[in-house]
Amino acid sequence: MDQKSIRRGAIGLAFTLVELLVVIAIVAVLLAILLPALARIREAAQSAACLSNMRQLAVAVHLYAADHKDRLPFIPHPQHSLGDGTAYISGGPAPAYDQGGGEGVSVDGWVPAPKNRSLYKYTSGKFELFQCRSDQGVDIHEYWPQITWVPFWQTTGSSYLFNDYQRAYHPSVDESDYYESGWNHKLGQLPRSSQFVLWYEPPAQIWPWGAGPSTAVSGKVFRWHKAPRAGGSRTYEDAGFAPFYSNIAFADGHAESVDFTATYKRDLSGAIVGQDRTRVGPVIWYIYEQ
């Protein structure tokens, strides 16, 4: 092989390397473009699955009401006031809560075992209905030590919460609403049913939940949707400006994803200082007394 042929071969090899680098660069650019799009598609699919679950849970409440003279599932005062209202009427086994053989939600005790709850037969015993794949958990270890970044359904048996504070138009819950009649009101009593919350995900409101439409309540805010896991839970001070979305099932039986961003109140520095949960928001949480 002469020197001329060797030079031509070297030039051909050089061009091959350049072309390879160009292809790698193009692939990298395409991945940078496609990965966020794929993440959005994945999130949309997960959210759609959650919405389907919540529609079925709303139907379960309607079926229960049809069998009980339009009344909503009954939750006794102690379970309601200590935040276990949802687990009393629905949900599945909660592995994290039941570890160590303590009082959990898999056996009759503080709350009924899953098969003995009032909505069990109306969900056909399908515990997967209570699991949202977007469930990034919450951190409320100050009140429940076992609930620290465990997916919410693993701890409580459900990614979704039943809105059992429907008569609590107060800065803090007034249990006098429940002493005589318990939570045993009628589905038809809920005003503007297409906006009245029946089931919701924790990102819909600040913790502590059920604290009423006050903007002065301290607590935490959470994100599950349209945010990476690292951005799932925030203190008021570092919540950032990403939107707060939550899937909601309404009293009329439909479900949709709702943007709660505008309900969070911020100070001049941008830090969240509370949440407006009055009747002027995107949903209705309470039965307002006339």
Q: Residues 210-249: pLDDT tens digits? A: 565 555 555 788 888 875 544 455 566 667 788 888 999 9
Residue of 195, 158, 155, 165 whose CA lies nearest to 54: 158
Q: Write the CA distances from 288 to 107, 177, 189, 209, integer angstroms.
A: 36, 13, 11, 18
Q: Which residue pairs from 23-28 have beta carbons closer than 8 angstroms and sit at least 24 positions apart in sequence?
A: none
Q: Distance (Å, rounded) from C-alpha 70 to C-alpha 76? A: 18
Residue of 165, 131, 163 whose CA lies nearest to 150: 131
The pLDDT of residue 171 is 39
Q: What amino acid is encoded at 87 in this protein?
A: A
Q: Distance (Å, rounded) from C-alpha 148 to C-alpha 207? A: 13
Cis preceding linkage at 208, omega within 30: yes
Largest CA distance in the chain: 104
Task: Count the neighbouring beta carbons within 10 Å of the beta carbon of residue 54.
Answer: 26
Least confident of 12-16, 77-81, 214-218: 214-218
- DSSP three-state, residue 57: helix
Q: Which residue has the higher pLDDT, 88 or 81?
A: 88
- Written as six digits, the tokens of 34 are 């496609």
Least confident of 113-117, 140-144, 176-180, 187-191: 176-180
| Residue 169 in this model has a pLDDT that exceeds 50 | no
Percent of the chain whose pLDDT exceeds 90? 22
Beta bridge partners of 222: 233
Q: Give, for 31, the enclosing helix (H) or strand (E).
A: helix 3-67
| 222 touches 202 (CB < 8 A) | yes
Least confident of 104-108, 144-148, 255-259: 104-108
| 224 touches 139 (CB < 8 A) | no
Mean pLDDT, residues 145-152 taken together: 81
Mean pLDDT, residues 15-40 taken together: 71
Query: What is the pTM for the complete model shown?
Result: 0.80
Over its C-alpha atoms, the chain yields an Rg (Å, rounded) of 25
Residue 115 phi/psi, 5-degree rounding, is -70, -15
Q: Distance (Å, rounded) from C-alpha 228 to C-alpha 122? A: 34
- DSSP three-state, residue 103: coil
Q: Which residue has the higher pLDDT, 166 or 159?
A: 159
Residue 256 phi/psi, 5-degree rounding, is -155, 160
Mean pLDDT, residues 113-134 taken together: 92
Residues listed for the chain = 290
- DSSP three-state, residue 207: strand
The DSSP string of 115-144 is: GGSTTTGGGTT-GGGG--TT---EE-TTT-
Mean pLDDT, residues 49-71 taken together: 94
